[in-house]
């Protein structure tokens, strides 16, 4: 019974794998995800991410665990040489630095988890070469429900880590 099923299943499985390869982005490799990290935002901070991780594909499951309704994001970018988390925080305090604006676009992006509302989790796979990186949130929602506050990065919502 098992033997006859195996033949029947082989064709659909091969088709499915072929579709996955054909539709994957050209910048991602076919190697399997090597690690998965549960990262969450709370009190305008990122939690749960190690400060050093191995290279290769990684999956980040990003949850918004605030106690009030607000949207966070996790923009992943290269940390410029010599910069620290505080450099990114200070850069987000520059007048005119708005979410999606010149403040955010000055960095080399490696992907993002966008628009995660309180209570939600969104997963994303990244493929990072060795180097220094950071997450930041340039969303501008406020605790009281406003949508034009200072970028969250300027309030300290920045996390730096290294890929070895």
- Positions touching Cu ion (CB under 5 A) are 72, 137, 139, 152
User: What does the angle CA 125 – CA 131 – CA 137 come to, to the nearest 5 degrees?
Assistant: 55
Minimum CB–partner distance for residue 158 and Cu ion (Å): 10
Strand-strand pairing, 35-42 and 56-64: parallel
Residue 62 CB contacts under 8 Å (≥ 6 apart), including other chains: 39, 40, 41, 74, 113, 116, 121, 122, 123, 124
CB-wise, 24 or 43, nearer to Cu ion? 43
Name the DSSP letter for residue 28: S
Minimum CB–partner distance for residue 6 and Cu ion (Å): 49
Residue 132 CB contacts under 8 Å (≥ 6 apart), including other chains: 78, 79, 160, 161, 162, 163
3-class SS letters over 64-83: ECCCCCCEEEEEEEECCCCC
Is the backbone of residue 68 left (phi > 0), alpha (psi -120 to 50) or beta? Answer: beta
Minimum CB–partner distance for residue 121 and Cu ion (Å): 15
CB-wise, 104 or 152, nearer to Cu ion? 152
Minimum CB–partner distance for residue 132 and Cu ion (Å): 21
CB-wise, 14 or 94, nearer to Cu ion? 94
CB-wise, 44 or 56, nearer to Cu ion? 44
Minimum CB–partner distance for residue 137 and Cu ion (Å): 3
CB-wise, 83 or 114, nearer to Cu ion? 114
């Amino acid at each position: 019974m098992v033997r006859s099923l195996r033949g029947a299943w082989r064709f659909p499985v091969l088709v499915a794998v072929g579709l996955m390869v054909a539709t994957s982005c050209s910048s991602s490799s076919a190697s399997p995800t090597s690690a998965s990290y549960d990262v969450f935002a709370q009190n305008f901070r990122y939690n749960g991410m190690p400060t050093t991780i191995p290279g290769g594909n990684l999956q980040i499951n990003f949850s918004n665990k605030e106690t009030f309704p607000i949207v966070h994001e996790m923009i992943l970018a290269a940390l410029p040489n010599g910069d620290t988390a505080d450099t990114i925080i200070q850069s987000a305090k520059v007048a005119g630095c708005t979410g999606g604006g010149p403040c955010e676009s000055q960095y080399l992006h490696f992907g993002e988890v966008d628009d995660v509302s309180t209570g939600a989790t969104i997963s994303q796979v990244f493929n990072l070469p060795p180097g220094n990186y950071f997450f930041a949130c340039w969303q501008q929602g406020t605790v009281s429900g406003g949508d034009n506050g200072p970028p969250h990065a300027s309030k300290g919502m920045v996390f730096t880590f290294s890929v070895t």
